[in-house]
Structure 1
Amino acid sequence: MNLYSEHYVSQKAERFVNKIWCLDNSIGESLIENKLVLPNGCFNLAIVNGNAIEVHTSKKKYEMNKGIYFCSQMTNKVLVNIEPKTTITIIQLQAWTISLFPDYDLSDFTDSIIKINPSELPFKIQIESDIETLLHTINLYFEKLAALHSDQNTIEKICEIIKIKEEEISVSEISTALNSSQRLLQIKFKTATGLTIKKYIQILKFRKSVDQMVNSDLEKLKLTDVALYNKYFDQSHFIKKFKDVTKTTPKMFNPDSYFLSQKR
């Protein structure tokens, strides 16, 4: 049994959905304890089927039984315990996706999880759906959404500028590129994502560093190289920021304790 697996949406749907990932303890007879998840700059819709999963964020502990949950942006590592006979399917939404639904103000909603009624979702999914059915539903909905919103909104434009910029970019540079005031961009971004633009940049930079470490030989990898490649001031700055999120140093980091993205 593969406890962790990833599944990918169509190219058009990927504009709004990064991927779908599954945690499968459906045939397990024992509790899976103390597994960790790192922040990634995305929102998550978690579909829990079976018994339950326990999630510890930096704010509180959540007991997630059968149902659908909206998970906000996470700013620190998250600890999960998965009960036997339980499957969690997670739809990973891009940072700008929720900004297409202006009724939602997420400015004060980080490191938090809420249970939602499936009828609140703009697409219909069943908790018991298999991954193929779920992928079909997600692709169909978000491909139509892409056609309806051919132009990027402000939040997507901000994220795109950050993504394609090889050097670390400032809010001032983003405001110049979009011909908008820094204050207005900050308010819009915080309302849509719960994060400041600067915090979002830091999270992306951190995940890029972790992915580089995991996909390299940790014994031979020089932290100075990782730090400088990912635009940290120096090795000490990188270690400090790494500890802020993981509560451990890069040298003590154990990838086996985490659910990490697979290399595509």
Structure 2
Amino acid sequence: MSDNLKLYSEHYVSQKSERFVNKIWCLDNSFGESLIENKLVLPNGCFNMAIVSGNAIEVHTSKKKYEMNEGFYFCSQMTNKVLVNIQPKTKVTILQLHAWTLSMFTKYDLSNFTDSIIKIDSETLPFRITIANPVEKLLETTNGYCEQLSDLNPSQNSVEKICEIIKNKEDEISVSEIALQLQSSQRLLQIKFKTATGLTIKKYIQILKFRKSVDQMVNTDLEKMSLTEIALYNKYFDQSHFIRKFKDVTKATPKTFNPDSYFLSQKR
């Protein structure tokens, strides 16, 4: 895991900014002389804005292969594992946005935008950053913008409310229960959520559940907590249901899963 830790780092925004940004993470091969190959990233229910400096990074999603040379990129919600190859002398800094953040900007219709990456013009961003900005400067700019955004929008919109209900519910929740809590029709909530995230509410719940299970597997002594216990704790029907869903995303079983092949969240 030590090589991963050198290559992968996490940086955290202010408490107020965490309403919109989960974290900033870096894949840094800027001093490397060789290609970093076949590293994997799991879906996590977030959007990512990537800043590539240096040579290039190659990303394989479930839809296609992307060659990302120096520049700014917007990465949609991912529904399966993503394979990453990082060229030498390359650094990627990634701003991880919560699922509801883009719903603050009504011009974006992301309903058909999953497992995809597009190059963007930095001039279109709501805040000014450059490729050369160090992560400390990106944190400062992000905090300044997000704290102001939070002040301007003290009330949660429906997409943020949906995500908040899902996050705070101990047991798995249905769309009908969410609609009841928000006193809205299921159909209207589904349309709003899909337009803002590209995912159905049910798919978003599944991604969060899967990611929570993986983090638990990695950060727990499996001798003390069995796969059955992890499966039931995360509201899978049973161990076989958990294994089947796990294979859908990773193409591996929990027993053959190798955390060293993945960039996984650091335990805070």
TM-score bucket of the superposed structures, by smaller chain: over 0.9
Deviations 1:161-215 (A, max 9, x none): 0000000000000000000000000000000000000000000000000000000
- For the residues of structure 1 that align with 2:193 and 2:69, how far apart are their CA atoms? 31
Q: Pick from 66, 90, 102: which aligns with 1:62?
A: 66
The secondary structure found in structure 2 opposite 1:98 is: helix
Say yes or no: does 1:29 pair with 2:19: no
- Listed as ranges, the matches of 1:91-110 within 5 Å are 91-110=95-114
Deviations 1:28-78 (A, max 9, x none): 000000000000000000000000000000000000000000000000000
Match of 1:172 in 2: 176
C-alpha RMSD of the superposition: 0.8
- For the residues of structure 1 that align with 2:224 and 2:29, how far apart are their CA atoms? 34
- For the residues of structure 2 that align with 1:42 and 1:218, how far apart are their CA atoms? 27
Say yes or no: does 1:115 pair with 2:119: yes
- Listed as ranges, the matches of 1:39-58 within 5 Å are 39-58=43-62
- For the residues of structure 1 that align with 2:145 and 2:200, how far apart are their CA atoms? 29
Match of 1:234 in 2: 238
- Listed as ranges, the matches of 1:125-144 within 5 Å are 125-144=129-148
- For the residues of structure 1 that align with 2:72 and 2:78, how far apart are their CA atoms? 18
Say yes or no: does 1:9 pair with 2:13: yes
After TM superposition, what 4+ stretches of structure 1 lie above 3 angstroms from structure 2?
218-221
The secondary structure found in structure 2 opposite 1:23 is: strand
Match of 2:198 in 1: 194
Say yes or no: does 1:244 pair with 2:248: yes
Deviation at 1:221, TM superposition (A): 3.3
Match of 2:219 in 1: 215
The secondary structure found in structure 2 opposite 1:48 is: strand
Deviation at 1:218, TM superposition (A): 3.4
- For the residues of structure 1 that align with 2:172 and 2:188, how far apart are their CA atoms? 21
Deviation at 1:217, TM superposition (A): 1.9
- For the residues of structure 2 that align with 1:216 and 1:43, how far apart are their CA atoms? 27
Deviation at 1:262, TM superposition (A): 0.2
TM-score (norm 1): 0.99
- For the residues of structure 2 that align with 1:139 and 1:73, how far apart are their CA atoms? 23
Structure 1 unmatched runs, 5+: none
Deviation at 1:22, TM superposition (A): 0.2
Deviation at 1:220, TM superposition (A): 4.6
| Identity %, equivalent residues | 79
The secondary structure found in structure 2 opposite 1:251 is: coil
Structure 2 unmatched runs, 5+: none
Deviation at 1:216, TM superposition (A): 1.1
- For the residues of structure 2 that align with 1:155 and 1:98, how far apart are their CA atoms? 10
Match of 1:148 in 2: 152
- For the residues of structure 1 that align with 2:138 and 2:110, how far apart are their CA atoms? 26
